[in-house]
Structures are given as C-alpha cells and as structure tokens.
C-alpha cells in the first residue's frame, strides 16, 4: 500500500485501516482507494488491496476507478455553470432543446432532481449487462437515435410530477445532451475543460484505457467471488455514470464543494448556485435529493453525498462542513458504498463505525444467524442472511419451509421479528439473546436453541 498523505491522527489511522481491511476481507473486495479531507487539507490518501488480482498490482490513491452515479454531480455542475452564464435556465423546458416527445413540460430542474414523473427505463442496466458480458436483454440501444426512440416510446409510463420519486438515469443523460446543445462542445470535452482541468483532475477521463499502468481491473462478484469482466464504457451513459477518476483528484472536487465553489483561488461556480445543488428538494430512498447530490443528517451535521455503481466498480463522495471523503473500488459490494463512506467519516470524527445503525444491524444479523434445534434436536431450523434480511428455513425430510423475517424495529434492539404466511397473516418471531452463543428462538409452538 503506497500512501501519498498521512497526516491523520495515528489512532484514527489505525481504526480506519482496520475498518476498511475488515470490510474488504468480509466482502472479498479486490481493492479500494480512499482520500480524506479535514478542513481544507488532504489528511490521508492511499489504496488497499490489488487493483489487478492476476498480476497482484497494488491499489494507489492515483488508481483510476469507474465512479458510476457520482458522475451525476459533475453533470449538474456543468448545467449550473451554463445557468451562471445565462445560457440555460433551470425552469427551461427540455423539449424546447432536445428531441424529447413526452407531451409534458419537463424542466431542467425536474431532471436534476429526478422529479419529472418518468420511471427508470433500464437503459443503464441494459448497457452495463451487455458491455460486461453478463446478460443480453435484446433492447435496441445502439446509439443516440435508439436512445431517443426508447425514451419517446415510454410517454405513457410517466406519472404525475411529484407523485413519487423515480431515480431516472436517462434524465441525466439528457442533461448531458443539453450541455452539448448549449455549449457547442461534446459533453466529455465540456466537463474536461470547465471542471476537470480547473480542478487539476488531469487523469480523470470518460475513456477506459486498458493500457494505462494505473487503471483498475473490473471485477463482478459472482457467488461471493470476484470475476474479471470488461468495463461498461458507453457514451450513452457518460453524463449519468461514466466518469473514471482517482481519489486524489476526487478529493480536489470534494474540496471545491466544501469551499463553496472555488478551488485554489479559481472560481468554478457561483456559491449560491452551488448551494442549490446541495439543497434537498425531493424525498428519496437515499435522502432529500438535490442536483446530483443527496442530503442527510449524519452525526448532527448535514451530510451531502452520493454513491455510484456500474456493477464492476463503485464509489462514494461525501462531505459536511468539517470533513470529506472520496472512496472507490474495483467491484460493487452487496450494499451501498455510502455506508462505507459513513463509516470512514465516523472514524474521522473519532467515533466507532461499528456502532452506526447499518453496521450494528449487520452485526446483529450475524449474531442471530446459525443452526437452531428444539428439545433433543427433533426440530431443526437455520437462520441465514439474504438480501439484507434474515431468512428462516425449517429443515424437514419431506419439504423445506422458508420465510423472510422482518424486524419490528429498524435497529432490531428488541430482537423481535415477524413473517407473513401464505394466508396473509403475520406471525411473531422472537430471539432471546443471553450471550453471543446462547440464543433461543421462539416461533409459534417452538422453542429452539442455537446449536
């Protein structure tokens, strides 16, 4: 592991490294790189693991990774720069600029906030699966003409605006085309000239260069094992999730956001416009959604952040008024990189990341999982973890009964759950935890003991 910056407190550094390497070991993550900002200072950056497993090449803070939907805030920033110049307006109708035929007056603001009423049309999913060689869904999406045919054919899929939040990747790809139409440049050229170059992000790119000496090798986690794949590079997805970058350079971007639109004395964006990007407008499953950022409360502060994944690479960017983090790895773990980012921020604040709700819940599920049996072992059951929930399986000779256990409280503090039977009735399930290895399971007529 090669470090460029190590100005972090020694105790925090040790806790950070333990937290990340434990996570990597548990999830079979090939590599991760991280950069931490405190105030305006980069206090730590480096890499863990192998960016290429076959060659055992180390990850570094300069290793390029796909950052997926973290790209959206770059697109939003480009739009806001054009707004600042008076060349574009947030309330402009998209249909006035692009060949979109939805019969609905969708605005730039509504695309930025995923509030236009259009559900996901699976363009990103089709392209990612196709380009990593995992699946072919047969959708005709060979270029921009196909893209517009696909979108325009979905007019009847739209619901009333603000009726519900739909995370709409293609809306950001439309914003990328809007940047092109307004600026007269290709999207990638605009971002390079107006964002990447001023922020000294010299290695960041939209092109996957396999011959680059410090590029990640992409891996897909299949049955718990990393499998080398192709990288899903497509111009159709540049604006919604196509940027590749390294944590050293992403740290510059986070610093600019923390510093209200300036970097190294250079003006990148008006601070009032940037504040619009950091403001939550629409409630979503990832927080109040702004312009390419989600806003949440975290440890008493307003946390602005966003994760991203392209199945074989993932990233997270987040910051509050005091601390910032950039994370990237060469696969997509089974849960959001946002949770890892929050764990890293907790370390920076001198807190134990394992006590955060997500990790406490995860540890509780690990404690409750295992083999259970009744008096004299005449009835046997197994509790395992599936999709972030506990699954109960009764072992019978003639058949197996499987149900998902739903916690009654988010933190699972009372160890009480329920499942829904085929007749629609709820049935209670309770664990009596006397010790980590001494647990009783109560379900219906049964009392079972952890074996």
- If one counts every other C-beta atom within 10 angstroms of the C-beta of residue 317, the result is 29
pLDDT confidence of residue 17: 95
Has residue 1 got a pLDDT over 70?
no
Q: How do beta strands 31-38 and 244-245 pair?
A: unpaired
| Banded pLDDT at 388 (limits 50, 70, 90) | confident
pTM of the model: 0.93
C-alpha–C-alpha distance, residues 383 and 390, integer Å = 6
Whether pLDDT at 7 is above 90: no
The answer to whether the beta carbons of residues 102 and 119 sit under 8 Å apart is: no
- Res. 33: pLDDT tops 70: yes
pLDDT higher than 90, residue 104: no
- Could you give the residue range(s) of every CATH 2.40.128.210 domain in the chain? 362-450
Closest Cα to residue 270, out of 109, 446, 39, 84? 84
| Residue 177 near residue 98, CB atoms below 8 Å | yes
| Rounded average pLDDT over 64-87 | 98
Integer Cα distance of 30 and 18 in angstroms: 16
Integer CA distances (angstroms), 199 to 54, 67, 266, 388, in order: 34, 17, 9, 38
Which phi-psi region, left, alpha or beta, contains residue 88 (left: φ > 0; alpha: ψ -120 to 50)? beta
**pLDDT band at residue 398 using 50, 70 and 90 as cut-offs:** low
pLDDT, tens digit, 9 for 90 and up, residues 111-156: 999 999 999 999 999 999 999 998 899 999 999 999 999 999 999 9
How far apart, in whole angstroms, are the C-alpha atoms of residue 17 and residue 25?
12
Other CB atoms closer than 10 Å to residue 102's CB: what's the count?
18
| Neighbour-count burial of 332, counting CB atoms closer than 10 A to its CB (0-12 exposed, 13-18 middle, 19+ buried) | buried
Question: Which residues, at least 6 apart from 233, have a Cβ–Cβ distance to it below 8 Å?
Answer: 131, 206, 207, 208, 242
Q: What average pLDDT score do residues 8-36 get?
A: 95
Residues of the chain with CATH 3.40.710.10: 3-352
pLDDT of 253 strictly over 80:
yes
> Comparing C-alpha atoms, which of 352, 357, 372 is closest to residue 413?
357
- pLDDT of 59 above 50: yes
Please count the residues of the chain: 451
**What digits encode the pLDDT tens for the residues 159-193?**
998 778 999 999 999 999 999 999 999 999 999 99
* pLDDT for position 338: 97
Q: How far apart are CA 294 and CA 307, in angstroms?
A: 9
> For tokens 């900002």, what's the residue?
37
Q: CA of 244: how far to CAs of 67, 190, 207, 233, 238, in Å?
A: 6, 15, 8, 10, 10
Q: Is 362-450 in CATH node 2.40.128.210?
A: yes
pLDDT tens for 327-362 read 999 999 988 899 999 999 999 999 999 999 999 999
Is it true that domain 3-352 has CATH number 3.40.710.10? yes
pLDDT value, residue 446: 95
Q: Residue 397: what pLDDT? A: 67
**Could you read off the pLDDT of 264-317 as tens digits, one per residue?**
999 999 999 999 999 999 999 999 999 999 999 999 999 999 999 999 999 999
């Amino acid at each position: 592991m090669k470090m460029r910056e190590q100005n972090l407190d020694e105790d925090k550094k040790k806790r950070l490294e333990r937290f990340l390497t434990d996570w990597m070991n548990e999830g079979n993550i090939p590599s991760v790189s991280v950069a931490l900002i405190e105030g305006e200072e980069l206090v730590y950056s480096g890499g863990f693991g192998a960016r290429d497993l076959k060659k055992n090449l180390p990850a570094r803070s300069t290793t390029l990774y796909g950052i997926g939907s973290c790209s959206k805030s770059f697109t939003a920033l480009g739009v806001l720069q054009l707004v600042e110049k008076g060349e574009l307006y947030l309330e402009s109708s998209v249909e006035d600029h692009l060949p979109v035929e939805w019969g609905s007056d969708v605005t730039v603001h509504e695309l930025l906030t995923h509030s236009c009423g259009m559900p996901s049309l699976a363009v990103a999913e089709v392209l990612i699966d196709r380009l990593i060689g995992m699946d072919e869904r047969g959708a005709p999406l060979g270029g921009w003409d196909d893209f517009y045919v696909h979108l325009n054919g979905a007019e009847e899929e739209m619901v009333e605006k603000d009726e519900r939040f739909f995370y709409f990747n293609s809306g950001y790809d439309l914003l990328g085309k809007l940047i092109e139409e307004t600026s007269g440049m290709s999207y990638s050229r605009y971002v390079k000239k107006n964002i990447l170059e001023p922020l000294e992000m010299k290695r960041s790119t939209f092109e996957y260069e396999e011959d680059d000496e410090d590029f990640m090798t992409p891996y897909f986690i299949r049955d718990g094992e990393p499998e080398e794949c192709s990288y899903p590079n497509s111009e159709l997805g540049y604006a919604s999730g196509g940027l590749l970058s390294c944590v050293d350079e992403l740290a510059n971007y986070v610093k600019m956001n923390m510093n209200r639109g300036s970097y190294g004395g250079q003006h990148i964006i008006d601070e009032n416009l940037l504040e619009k990007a950091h403001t939550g407008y629409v409630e979503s499953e990832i927080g109040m959604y702004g312009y390419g950022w989600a806003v949440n409360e975290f440890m008493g502060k307003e946390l602005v952040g966003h994760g991203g994944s392209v199945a074989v690479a993932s990233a997270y960017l987040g910051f509050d008024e005091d601390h910032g983090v950039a994370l990237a790895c060469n696969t997509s773990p089974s849960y959001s990189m946002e949770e890892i980012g929050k764990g890293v921020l907790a370390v920076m604040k001198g807190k134990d990341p394992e006590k955060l709700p997500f990790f406490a819940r995860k540890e509780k599920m690990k404690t409750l999982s295992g083999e259970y049996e009744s008096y004299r072992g005449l009835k046997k059951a197994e509790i395992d973890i599936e999709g972030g929930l506990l699954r109960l399986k009764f072992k019978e000779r003639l058949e197996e009964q499987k149900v998902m256990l739903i916690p009654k409280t988010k933190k699972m503090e009372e160890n009480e759950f329920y499942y829904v039977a085929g007749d629609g009735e709820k049935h209670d399930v309770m664990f009596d935890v006397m010790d980590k290895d001494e647990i009783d399971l109560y379900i219906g007529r049964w009392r079972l003991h952890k074996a």
